[in-house]
Amino acid sequence: MEQRPATRALRVGIPEGLHMRAAMEVAKLLGRFKSHVVLVKEGQRVDGCDVLQILSLAAVQHEELTAEASGDQAEEALAALAALFDNDFAETEETTKEKG
């Protein structure tokens, strides 16, 4: 019997929406886990480790996404992803400012 994927609701909080740096951070983060994560927006499903697919969602500020994860570290991947969204990608933005 196939196990149902774990799911988590995510809200885009950053004013720029899910832009290139944020999409890269999502893909980088999810690549660390032994799981497969799909991001869903209005029925469009994309691979959470593929930056271009993430960008194709064109998710803007205040939009809701659903993350679906399966695999050995599904719950851990979703928790880390939710923390990234909940903190409005603060680490990504701070790193960018330091380099800029």
Q: Which of 19, 47, 66, 71 is catalytic?
A: 19
Active-site residue flag, 62: no
Query: Taking the C-alpha atoms of 59, 26, 52 and 56 in order, what is their torsion angle to the nearest 10 degrees?
Result: -10
Q: Within the chain, where are the H helices?
A: 20-30, 51-56, 74-86, 90-99
Integer Cα distance of 31 and 27 in angstroms: 6
Cα 71-22-68 angle, rounded to 5 deg:
25
Task: Read off the amino acid at residue 86.
Answer: D
**What residues are labeled active site?**
19
